[in-house]
Amino acid sequence: MKETDNYSNLAPLYDKLMENVDYESWADYIDEIIQEHHPEAEKVLELACGTGSVAISLEELGYYEITAGDLSPHMIEVAKEKASKVDSAVQFKTLDFLNINIEDEFDVIFSVFDSVNYLQTESEVKIMLDECRKLLKEDGLLIFDFSTPLNSMEAVDHLNNEEAEVKSLRFFRTSEYDAINKIHTNTFEIEQLSEDKQEIISSFKEVHKQRIYSLEEMLSILKQTPYHLVAKYGDFDLIDADENSARITLVLKCQKHL
């Protein structure tokens, strides 16, 4: 079984994998945060946008100009196809949030669904924060969420041994959480089937590793940067997060030219 880059073969299956995620509610939540802390915002950048569901839903609110990027060109290809079907004006680009190669400035940058957990070290988180700082306008907001150890402990059994099929593709997922090293690993075995689904034409494996951060660890990283904490929210509501929150959304500002 050939091991491939993350989301190179999983991209066509991603929406099936995420079919239980309410993207419209997630977009409404991001909008609620923006309206609470920067209601004048117009230009928005989403990082690690996946197949574009949140960006497209956010654009449908009618008052944001949205650019969305993902490291995987395969995911961006799916996002563009999805956008064309609904006449979305979201600008999708292949972007690496450790080296955001784009010449523009934004009122808001956001990233959701624990994409930041793919950054394995404190150093990588700081690089991402600095890359965002370069693109934020004065008084701009950076919004991102991250998965905590509690979330991994609660989700690992649900995610383990998951399988699904889309057209001629089939995947099987195993999930495990190393609580000592705080690494959550999802391994996807993906099979390309024949048209009659009786034969496996090819098979691939993708191994997704996420570093799971506690609130204390993430706040410690932030203290080493020019950012200041505007808010920390838990459980998809504008309530203050604490160490018992499974997923935490941070809202940050910084002095751009420090």
**Among the three residues 179, 195, 211, which one is the final residue of a domain in this structure?**
211
Q: 164 and 78 in one domain?
A: no
Q: How confident is the model at residue 258 (pLDDT cuts 50, 70, 90)?
A: very low
Q: 102 and 38 in one domain?
A: yes
How distant, in Å, are the alpha carbons of 49, 64, 83, 107, 225 from that of 91? 11, 12, 9, 16, 29
Q: Give the domain extent around 181.
A: 150-211
Q: Where are the alpha helices (DSSP H) in the chain?
A: 14-17, 23-37, 53-59, 73-85, 122-135, 149-159, 215-222
Q: 163 and 107 in one domain?
A: no
Q: 247 and 140 in one domain?
A: yes
Q: What tens digit of pLDDT does each residue of 126-172 get?
A: 999 999 999 999 999 999 999 999 999 988 888 888 787 777 778 88
Residue 7 in this model has a pLDDT that exceeds 70: no
Which residues, other chains included, contact 17 with Cβ-Cβ below 8 Å and sequence gap of 6+? 10, 164, 171, 173
The model's pTM is 0.92
Q: 202 and 221 in one domain?
A: no
Instruction: Report the pLDDT value the prediction gives residue 58, as an integer from 0 to 100.
Output: 97
Q: What tens digit of pLDDT does each residue of 52-88 get?
A: 999 999 999 999 999 999 999 999 999 999 999 999 9
Q: Using CA atoms, how far apart are residues 145 and 155, in angstroms rounded to an integer?
A: 16
Instruction: Report the pLDDT value the prediction gives residue 6, as an integer from 0 to 100.
Output: 58
Q: 245 and 123 in one domain?
A: yes
Share of the chain above pLDDT 70, in %: 94
Contact 218, 248 (CB under 8 A): yes
Q: 176 and 55 in one domain?
A: no
Q: How many domains does the chain have?
A: 2
Tell me the Ramachandran region of residue 172: left when phi exceeds 0, alpha when psi lies from -120 to 50, beta otherwise.
Answer: beta
Q: What tens digit of pLDDT does each residue of 194-241 get?
A: 777 778 888 888 899 999 999 999 999 999 999 999 999 998 899 999
Q: 154 and 142 in one domain?
A: no
Contact 234, 241 (CB under 8 A): yes
Q: What is the mean pLDDT of the chain?
A: 90
User: What are the residues facing 234 on neighbouring strands?
Assistant: 248
